[in-house]
Structure 1
Amino acid sequence: MMEESFLTIQKDSDETAWKFYAKFYGEQLNNRHFKIKGKDYNVSGDVCFNIKVKKNNRFTLLSSIIKDDLDSDKMKELNDLLTIFLHSPMNISLLPVTGGLNNIKGQFASDRFDSFLWLLDAYYKGLSAPILNRGTKNSYIGNQKILGNILNEIGSVRNFYSIFYGIDDDGYLDHLINNGKKAIVEPSDYYAYLLEAVRFWTIRLDLLVKKDIFMKNGAVMNDYCLHLQELKDLIINLENF
């Protein structure tokens, strides 16, 4: 079945991921070009909540906050559950390539999804320099101006959130934006961020059912629901430890 094939996604831009994007975005995506207000733009895959406990056997910046708090068994349990969702259909999306918006996200605030949404909201409120003058290697102002045109065509962070993530819940978006401006420096901050990921993945799972990508109460949906509950329970348990 198609929904089971999406369980094999290994990267946000592998062939199976693109099959998922075709199903998720429908007519907006044509031959790997994304249509925004009648114009076609190059896009690439991206992980929304890019959460890993370790990368190349080293703790990430954010997960280093809890490295002294958990024993190896709990750390492995947490990492295994997070890995299930890292490249799952609930956690991948497309972003514009020209101007490197995916790179801007990856290099801003440790690739925090909520901080990225805060940055976009700030852009639409007039803070354009962090995106249009990002100053990374191999950047060209012409490409950044094109990215600015894309964002201006979209018009608002709410439109962006709806177009690329498929979610129209303004209340939750406001919550993410508000959290995105706050630093994560304590274990409680980190666990709260993990719970936000669980909430986002739950919303996206429901959306995939509504789009008939996953069957309601089917094996794939039920497995993901089970793992989401396991992850939520573990995070709450660790938070209260």
Structure 2
Amino acid sequence: MEEFDTSYLAWILYKLFYGIDKEIAKNKERSYVEIDFGNKIINMSGDTDYNFGPGWSHSIRKKYENYLEKVPSEYEDLYNTQLSRCVKLYKSVLNISFMPQTGNLQSAKKGIGNDRLDTFIWALNSYYIDETSLLFNNSTFNNTSYLKEYLDLFKTEHKEETIYNYCYKIYGIESHELVDELIMHGKEAIDSPEKVIAFMNRAYRFWCQKLVYIKKRMECNIDILTDNEQTIILQSVEDAENELNKWFET
């Protein structure tokens, strides 16, 4: 079965979000589009930003559910409700983004921090400020040069600001403060109910930012979509926003 981040709906979102309208191809792994830059072609596919799914080899959702046993009784309903919201928003247009298939960056994101977006952004920033090269752990030798050239497209005059450029162009995050928080917490373990709650609230802020950006794209770029695609994306955005608006309800 096609994964949500490369579903028909996902490709409509990517077309709107990134302004890219290219033929979708598929290999034995996933669907993708070919993007030309310089003298190279890189395959771009989809990725789930925050993983609150049943998990792959290590169930991420189950890990957070297990902390319910340690949550003080007065916070148990809130914890369980917010986790349920995260699970519902896990497969929504607010929680998927473009990511290179060439260079296997998705597997690097999974391996570095158990598919945590904040840990991925921390590792990405570490690369940009010349501290680590963790992002290339799952890339073949030949594909590493392609991946580096892609990542270097986002470089700015001041390397410490490159991460903000990446997060804006790929995730629609305009808040430098939120990016700084994701970097800061991305290197920390999530090993308590309190840290799970903080993690979920940062996911909520991320989704709110992304919703604002998607709405901006709908205002100025909706004509790139067919009438049927417009109907699908409008309904999907409305559904996600309705779920997001319930965040503080118990």
On whether the aligned pair clears a TM of 0.5, the verdict is yes
Q: CA RMSD in A?
A: 3.1
Q: 1:108 and 2:112 equivalent?
A: yes
The secondary structure found in structure 2 opposite 1:167 is coil
Q: Which runs of 4+ in 1 moved over 6 A?
A: none
What is the aligned partner in structure 2 of residue 125 from structure 1?
129
Task: Determine if the alignment matches structure 1 residue 16 to structure 2 residue 17.
Answer: no
Residue 189 (structure 1) shift: 0.3
Give the structure 2 partner of residue 174 of structure 1. 180
Tell me the SS of whatever aligns to 1:168: coil
Q: How far has the Cα of 1:20 moved from its partner? A: 1.7
Residues 204-237 of structure 1: per-residue CA shift (max 9 Å, x gap): 111111111689xx87655534422323445xxx
Show the counterpart of 2:29.
none
Q: CA deviation at 1:13?
A: 0.5
- Larger deviation, residues 37-46 vs 165-174: 37-46
CA distance in 2, matches of 1:101, 1:198: 24
**Counterpart in the other structure of 1:50:** 51
Report the Cα distance in structure 1 between the residues aligned to 2:117 and 2:34, rounded to whole angstroms: 23
Q: Per-residue deviation at 1:131?
A: 2.1
Post-superposition offset of 1:181: 1.8
Q: Which residue of structure 2 aligns with residue 229 of structure 1?
A: 245
Report the residue type matching 2:187 in the other structure.
Answer: K
Distance 1:220 1:124, change over 3 A: closer
Which residue among 19, 32, 44 is the counterpart of 1:26? 19
Unaligned 5+ segments in structure 1 are 1-8, 235-241
Give the direction of change, closer, same or farther, for the CA distance of 1:67–1:76 in structure 2 (3 Å limit): closer
CA contact (8 A) 2:48 2:96 kept: yes
**Cα separation, 1, equivalents of 2:107 and 2:122:** 16
Percent identity between the aligned chains? 26
Q: Cα deviation per residue 1:166-185 (whole Å; 9 max; x = unaligned)? A: 22322221121112122211
SS at match of 2:69: coil
Do 2:174 and 2:209's aligned partners in 1 also have CA atoms closer than 8 Å? no
Q: State the number of aligned residues.
A: 216
**Which stretches in structure 2 are left out of the alignment for 5+ residues?**
24-32, 156-161, 223-229
Change (3 A) 1:221 1:15: closer
Counterpart secondary structure, 1:111: coil
Relative to the length of structure 2, the TM-score reads 0.73
How do residues 149-228 of structure 1 correspond to structure 2 at under 5 angstroms? 149-155=149-155, 156-212=162-218, 223-228=239-244
